Chains A and B, each alone.
Chain A
Amino acid sequence: MSSVPSAHPLSLNPGEYPPGRRLQRSELAWALAFLAPYLVVFAAFVVYPVGHGLWIGRDPALYAELFADQRYLRTVVNTVLFVGLGVNLMMFAAVLLSGLFVRREWWVRALLAVYLTCWALPAVPAFVSFHWMLIGEQGLVNGLLRELFGVEGPIWFNDRWLALGCNIIAYVWKWMPFWTVVFVAGRMAIPQEIYEAAAVDGATGARRFLHVVFPILANLYLVCTLLATLWTVGDFNTTYLVSIGAPARSSEVLATLGFHYAFDAAQPALGIAATMSALPILVPVALVLMRRLQAGGVQL
């Protein structure tokens, strides 16, 4: 009987990896066979495209051309606003709302089920609905404004800032339920004794949130915000389907601008350069996030 390496009782935090070990030949063959499918996918669909993209976008002249383009600079401002406002509003509202959803009443649970429909609804139908709801005089929003308040609403997609605002609202609508549920889970994990101890010390209501709940959730909040930032920077659907970049491509974000350069203007290199210009910000965020995920033992 071949000796199996002695079993160390592994006590790992989630996200921590066990120490590697030297495998015997037959085991090694099995392990390689198990890893092979992922290695193939990783090489063919991650390493190759990333390398190809870097290679196409390697020319510094591309970036000079990019920074000379007025539209690119405007898009960067839009992206910063879209991500900065969208993510922060969404995360802050989600963490506050999670306080409502930890209540156990039947109507709270029913509300949560309805609220999560936004998340279960596919993105394209959701954003198409937003587009149609906001379009000119015929849209539902302006119809409601007229009927309920007698106010003539603006033409939302005729103004860059309004259009950008509409995109942000639609994005928050679609993804806030998801983050709310993550924070609900985070709050559920807080032991009841901590609340009781805080209540003895007189911390209730807003003070409890500020001095007890939030410090405990802080690490989770940071990780989620970083993750949401990365995903929001890459969000294509919202801008492409809600405002369609209107008016006159002035509410574009980097993800849609890169797409337009590549497929409408037939300048794929410029499109790649546009998306790659976000890397100096994305990579540090990703690195901090990965360290947090692995060291902090945050169970997302």
Chain B
Amino acid sequence: MSVAVADVQAGRQGATVSPLSAARGRQARRVRRWKAVGAGAIAVLLLIWTLVPLYNIFMVSLESKGDVFTNTIWPDQPSLNSFWIVITEGYWYLEHFWEQFANSVYIGVGTVFFTLAIGSLASFAIGRMRVRYGWLLSNAALMTYVIPASFLAIPFYRIMQIYGLTDNLWSVIAAEVTFATPYAIFIFHQYGVSIPIELDEAARIDGASPGQVYWKIYLPLMAPALVAVGTYALLLAWNEYLYQFLLLSSKESMSVPVALAQFFNSDEAPWNYMMATAIVYSIPPVAIYYAFRRRMSAGLTMGGVKG
């Protein structure tokens, strides 16, 4: 504060102030200029760091030939042909592309719906109805939240065979919901603390059943948390690879990331098609991110997003 005040005075009074405070003002200005230069330099480095891998995806997808690259920095004859191939399913690796895309959407929407439904019901019972030993359940949930999902993959795969759900999209939805719900309960609980419990009690005195309180009071007031957790669940399903790879094997039931990684299996895989597929697959989450940026950063600060 004192620095700022001295600075303002120096600026306002110009040459008429005593030499000492003028020198101090000059020094403060110099410090500020160096700070701005430093921030700018960091910003440029960060921009390069962020954009190089993104640029790489675009560059490869614009190559007209898939295997031989003559120039590694910019394609000789950039063309949008590979996007056309992806959209029209014009290559045998991609012959089920839209079906697989629909599978990804199905998994994403199913995960969001069940995560929100199961998570909000449970957190209502624990946080609002204050069930006895509810804390025990939410601690158990939190413990699942911290177990690395990949470490459960092998037994999970076995269990799904026992349940008869292999090569079934519902097995993937079950897995994603299992790993998203603990986070949902955690966030709903934290958010719910800010809603006065007296609202529930007043409604109960007026004769509302717990179901009505949940549907007409709790859910509408929780809308911001529902949006945040919903986007989180969608991104989780869109990011996840291991379970989708393990549980979906046929070309018709595969999701896009599984199909993408299949390109690695072939030596003469057309990389430009692969990158074009990657871009098409990335459009929904990136678009959602830019559309809901404000709400999502509110959601992010409410809770960590599991990787």
Residue positions of A touching B, CB distance < 8 A: 1, 4, 7, 10, 12, 14-23, 27, 30-31, 34-35, 37-39, 41-42, 44-46, 48-50, 52-53, 56, 97, 100, 103, 107-108, 111, 113-126, 128-130, 132-133, 137-140, 142-144, 146-147, 173, 175, 178, 181-182, 185, 196, 199-200, 204, 224, 227, 230-237, 240-241, 244, 255, 258-259, 262-263, 268, 271-272, 275-276, 278, 282, 285-286, 289-290, 293, 299-300
Contacting residues, chain A, for B50 (C-beta < 8 A): 114-115, 117-118, 173
Q: Is B147 an interface residue (CB 8 A)?
A: yes
Cβ-defined contact, A125 with B131, below 8 A: no
A4, A17, A34, A255: the one contacting B201 at CB < 8 Å is A4
User: Could you list 30 examples of A-B contacts with CB < 8 Å?
Assistant: A14-B193, A17-B138, A20-B130, A20-B132, A20-B134, A21-B130, A34-B124, A38-B181, A44-B163, A113-B290, A117-B289, A121-B285, A122-B282, A123-B241, A124-B260, A125-B278, A128-B261, A132-B271, A133-B53, A173-B49, A199-B3, A200-B1, A230-B147, A234-B151, A235-B148, A236-B241, A240-B242, A255-B151, A286-B147, A300-B303
- Tell me the bound Cα distance from A173 to B43 in angstroms: 15
A35, A120, A125, A143: the one contacting B235 at CB < 8 Å is A120
Cβ-defined contact, A175 with B151, below 8 A: no
Cβ-defined contact, B155 with A49, below 8 A: yes
Q: Is B42 an interface residue (CB 8 A)?
A: yes
Cβ-defined contact, B152 with A50, below 8 A: yes
B138, B159, B261: the one contacting A45 at CB < 8 Å is B159
Cβ-defined contact, A7 with B197, below 8 A: yes
Task: Check A126/B53 contact, CB under 8 A, given A27-B210, A35-B122, A143-B72.
Answer: yes
Contacting residues, chain B, for A120 (C-beta < 8 A): 235, 285-286, 288-290
The count of residues in chain B whose C-beta lies closer than 8 Å to any C-beta of chain A is 114
- Tell me the bound Cα distance from A27 to B130 in angstroms: 11
Task: Check A122/B257 contact, CB under 8 A, given A103-B39, A300-B304.
Answer: yes
Determine how close the nearest CB of chain A comes to the CB of B277; give it in whole angstroms: 8
Instruction: Classify the secondary structure of A's interface with B.
Output: helix
Contacting residues, chain A, for B201 (C-beta < 8 A): 4, 7
Determine how close the nearest CB of chain B comes to the CB of A44; give it in whole angstroms: 8
